[in-house]
A and B are shown apart, each in its own frame.
Chain A
């Protein structure tokens, strides 16, 4: 699923999420959560419009790198159960 290619819009191979000026400080919780939300919203919007979800891969890579695995699993369970608190 995750190759070493950097999904659009960045160039070159993927290494790690770059510095995000929206979250410059030590607390990166929001960075992780925001990218998770953005990925799911992107997928939902692209599917609704019938377009390819390839541009959403960037958010996937970022939240996959930043978010602890246990958090991601918990959120996925909540989405499946319909109890996820975020707006997607």
Chain B
């Protein structure tokens, strides 16, 4: 769950989220490297007394600063595409859970065997017990088995909503009249918050 003064993502609970965390670290490192290089060069430019007023062409450096960014972009794109395709892998789920968005609560349906459905309202701030998280606690939680691939089908009964659980790396829109599917696989037991 989120904690005060948090800078990064929440701890990963699914393999996809772990991949996303690594990718984010990799890309952010590239961004920091480029920014610090640019800042360093700017500082060099501003603190020199040398001048050179007759530059005509600079073929070598132009070649370098065309090819090098292209390589950097490819280095960013390849892991990104790998994760994208990994998210769409065909996996046979073991359970199907449907969630319908309403104004302003979620309802969950487990209908593989018997009809089980319930509503899940947010606990108002005035009724929170000490230690509970504001705007995140609900009265009926969604209970899911761990280490099993679960198919989540998300839709809405009225307006557009969005179902998100950051620690699982999930965010899917709930659109009335459309059934969006996402797969979920949690690697450890716990209580995860989302919106």
Contacts and interface: CB of A to CB of B under 8 A. Distances in A.
A2 B181 contact: no
Interface residues of B, number: 27
A18 interface: yes
B153 A2 contact: no
Contacts of A75: none
Interface in A1-42: 2, 4, 14-19, 24, 26-29, 31-32
B109 interface: yes
Interface string A35-67: 000000000000000000000000000001111
A16 B100 contact: no
A88 B163 CA distance: 34
B178 A27 contact: yes
B148 to A, nearest CB: 10
Contact of A24 (B90, B178, B182): B90
B182 A26 contact: yes
Nearest to B155: A68
A66 B177 CA distance: 14
Contact of B111 (A19, A29, A64): A64
A15 B94 contact: yes
Name the interface size band of chain A.
20 to 34
A25 to B, nearest CB: 8
Given A26-B180, A26-B181, A66-B179, A16 B112 contact: yes
Contacts of A83: none
B151 interface: yes
A64 B92 CA distance: 18
B180 A28 contact: yes
Contact of A68 (B98, B112, B114, B172): B98
A29 B178 contact: yes
Interface of B: 90-96, 98, 100, 109, 111-115, 117, 151, 153, 155, 157, 172, 177-182
6 contacts: A26-B181, A27-B179, A28-B181, A65-B112, A67-B179, A69-B115
